Structure 1
Amino acid sequence: MRAALLALALVAGCATQTSPPAPQPRLTWQDFHGIRLPLSNTDGPRTLDNDRAEGFARTQQGALLAALHIAVRASSHWGPAVFEPTITEQVTGPDADQLLEKSRTQYEESRQEAGLPPGSPLGKAFVDEEAYRWQTYTPDAATVDIVSAGPDPRGTTVRATTRVQVVWQNGDWRVVAPLGGDWGNAATELKSLDGYTRFEG
């Protein structure tokens, strides 16, 4: 649960300008190991293969979808076949190497504790991506807060908001690695959705 709720990044430092929410084209939804993720036939991802997601439009919604899809897949929860190439190819910034090493360590510790064979995913997450709030957007860089929700051990719904920065590099959006390579530095508990825009559907 924690890995899924914290599977998004917090980074600042790229000069951007504020922007109001853009009109949101229609979204469809697809299950990713228990997490419902939004898709757009205009903004991406254009390629979904081997649990990877690539090819996002250079638009505000393309940046939003990239932030969500890439950061979720960079979690150690899904196993090295997913998080390693995601981080290596779709995450950038000075802390990207730390993120990869910490994800490997976290995965191995969790895998052994669960008694799973090497390379196995750690299980489903049962998390909903509920809402978002823009901080900044330009065609070169964007920062957005994303709200994830899921049950705690008592069955009560808990929410976390995570600030994600993406940058446009080599023809696609890339997530900037979280501070210190630790997703936990990115997320904070959220009590209210006031001020956030709910995802369609």
Structure 2
Amino acid sequence: MRRQRRTEPSGPYWKQRNWQLSAGFLAVVVLAGGFTALTSQHDTGGDHMGAAVSDGPLSGTSAPRAGRPPGCHTDDSGGDALPQSAPKDISWHTLGIARVPVSGSAGPTRTTGSLRWCFAHTPIGAVLAATVIPSRMSGSDWRAVARQQVVAGHGRDLFSIQRQTVADIDRAEQAGNTAVASYAGFSVTSYTADAANVRLLLRTGQGYAATAVLVRWSNGDWKVVPNADGSLHSQVTTIQGNANGFILWGV
């Protein structure tokens, strides 16, 4: 891949465009601009996940320590082999303000309320989890998603505290005229049965950009591992040139 140019951060990290990507659809603020409202006031005390969020299929009290949650079935026959192409059964679904790839065999195969879950225990399942889960963080149901699909710890607490400063955007029209990029491809840079590092390729009006998401196998499904600063992905970089090194979704 040709040389990449790193986007330089400025100001508090939760007000940087790159961190804001974690608080909504990854592609919404890759270009100039950002969320339309960053000053919504929320209570930041107490339980940052929200006391009203109930347990679900992936919560610590519901999900099994081994095996899959009840009703979760995926095609895991690919094992640990890294993908050489995109799955043939990919379709595109609009979830809130994001259009995300979904596979009938690799997931997400289950919907429970705001959750889109049950990903294959394979590298492509990890890719889909790394794509779908952060994309669910723009809407008003982000707390339920974070509680069950983001690994608990200090990073998740920071994500929650700063996410509360960003206005909820449940529908594409609420994003106004913000330029939206699209998911273009992916690569798996490391994979074990317990964790995977996934790079996501975004197509913008100015070319390509890339970021990375770490996921971990926990309670029978893939969950996003937040960074120490609360972001759900790495610094976004602009790619100069073509998309070599990535597998394209083919759309």
The answer for the alignment partner of 1:199 in structure 2 is: 249
Going from structure 1 to structure 2, the CA distance change for 1:31 and 1:41 (only over 3 Å counts) comes to: same
1:159 is displaced (CA, Å) by 3.0
1:195 is displaced (CA, Å) by 1.3
Does residue 85 in structure 1 map to residue 144 in structure 2? Answer: yes
The TM-score with structure 1 as length reference comes to: 0.73
Query: Which 5+ residue runs of structure 1 have no aligned equivalent?
Result: 8-17, 112-118, 151-155
The TM-score with structure 2 as length reference comes to: 0.60
Q: Which has the higher helix share?
A: 1
Q: Which has the higher strand share?
A: 1
Please identify the structure whose Cα radius of gyration is greater: 2
Q: Is the 8 A contact 2:115 2:145 kept in 1?
A: yes
Name which of 84, 95, 107 aligns with 1:44. Answer: 107
Cα deviation, 1:69-122, whole Å, max 9, x if unaligned, reads 012213xxx2332x21111111015411101111111x1xxx4xxxxxxx6537
The answer for the alignment partner of 2:163 in structure 1 is: 103
1:52 is displaced (CA, Å) by 2.9
Counterparts of 1:146 and 1:169, CA distance in 2: 21
Name which of 25, 29, 48 aligns with 2:87. Answer: 25
The answer for the alignment partner of 1:153 in structure 2 is: none
1:44 is displaced (CA, Å) by 0.6
Q: Is the 8 A contact 1:136 1:142 kept in 2?
A: yes
Q: How many residues are aligned here?
A: 170
Counterparts of 1:139 and 1:99, CA distance in 2: 26
Give 1:137's aligned amino acid: Y
RMSD: 2.6
1:127 is displaced (CA, Å) by 2.7
2:144 counterpart SS class: helix
Query: Which 5+ residue runs of structure 2 have no aligned equivalent?
Result: 1-16, 29-79
Give 1:194's aligned amino acid: N
Give 2:111's aligned amino acid: L
Does residue 146 in structure 1 map to residue 200 in structure 2? Answer: yes
Q: Percent sequence identity over matched residues?
A: 27
Going from structure 1 to structure 2, the CA distance change for 1:48 and 1:160 (only over 3 Å counts) comes to: farther
Going from structure 1 to structure 2, the CA distance change for 1:43 and 1:145 (only over 3 Å counts) comes to: same
Going from structure 1 to structure 2, the CA distance change for 1:141 and 1:133 (only over 3 Å counts) comes to: same
